[in-house]
A = this chain, B = another copy of it.
Amino acid sequence: MNSIIFLIDCPDRKGLVASISTFFYQRGFNILHCQQYTDVERNQYFMRLKLDMKSLKVSRKQLEEEFGLFGNEYQLRWSVHYSDYIQKVAILVTKAPHCLYDLLVRQQEGELPCEIPLIVSNRPALEHIADKFRIPFVCLPVTPEAKIKQEAELQTLLRQYRIDVLVMARYMQILSKEFVEEYSGRIINIHHAFLPAFQGASPYQQAYERGVKMIGATAHYATAELDDGPIIEQDVERVNHEQTIEELSRIGSDIERIVLARAVKAHLERRIIISGKRTIVFSTGV
């Protein structure tokens, strides 16, 4: 069943639910799902509205114009998404195969509403996986001197393939501030630690040395600050003194792929609103 999703946020005030729901009721829309949240501290209201696309009687352009006019009155910040538009996801990888495999299998099994037309890597190691799934694999090696050139090539590829979302599936390179800002809110990274613990390099070694009793992973939107973007999803697993760094890394890889898959799915299903350094992630629901 096709649907239209509105993501809305605005300063909270009386009558918002009534006004918004009446706007859509008057236009004959069937509301499939309505999720809300009020950040009391900042007096900010957030809504995710899922409408039956079959109820759409006018053009998409007209709907958007009418809602835009309506929204001005309430200072709404909003976006609209049509489920018949299939988002295009590019995956960036380096050497670790587990997240890449996981995303490809989930996409193939229909769990992720997207296409994956492009895999980019700074190394050739994972080409065989791309081949298995018959997806173009482009190797763009990164050298300190050619970093700007490599990013330009990456950008060209992303435009060429009309990529909507970038997933850094254990891509061991840092993207430039300019690049990240251009794709603001559309780059999802997986960090192999329970942020903000163990930022930066070798988090499993850090975890081992600190003797923690649980290890975790964090999926977040990439920002110019390394490992500091809005967190989408986290999870952990219990460990003990017996695990070596290698075992922590292996246990962690299972957490990483689950956490990354949940984050990518939430993003593709338009269930996330970014609010400063925090994310509102609406539950799956209908």
Asked whether, in the complex, the Cβ of B196 is within 8 Å of the Cβ of A210, the reply is yes
A19 CB to closest chain B CB (Å) equals 8
Interface of A, helix, strand, loop or mixed by DSSP? mixed
Chain B contacts of A155 at CB under 8 A?
none
Residue A105 CB within 8 A of the other chain = yes
Complex formed: what's the CA distance from A242 to B283 in Å? 9
Q: Nearest residue in B to A261 (C-beta to C-beta)?
A: B254
Given contacts A17-B31, A38-B33, contact A279 B210 (CB under 8 A): no
Within 8 A of B (CB), among A28-75: 28-41
Residue A137 CB within 8 A of the other chain = no
The interface stretch among A76-84, A162-170, A228-236 is: A228-236
Question: Chain A 20-32 against B: per-residue CB contact (8 Å), 1 yes, 0 no?
Answer: 0110110011111
Given contacts A18-B22, A195-B197, A197-B196, contact A211 B278 (CB under 8 A): yes
- Assign chain A's interface to a size class: 35 or more
Complex formed: what's the CA distance from A33 to B132 in Å? 40
Instruction: List 10 interface pairs A-B (beta carbons < 8 Å), by A numbering.
Output: A17-B17, A40-B244, A97-B109, A98-B109, A194-B194, A209-B278, A213-B281, A216-B236, A241-B278, A242-B284
User: Which residues of chain A have a CB within 8 Å of any CB of chain B?
Assistant: 14-19, 21-22, 24-25, 28-41, 97-98, 101, 105, 109, 111, 132-133, 194-198, 209-214, 216, 230-236, 238, 240-244, 247, 250, 254, 258, 277-281, 283-286
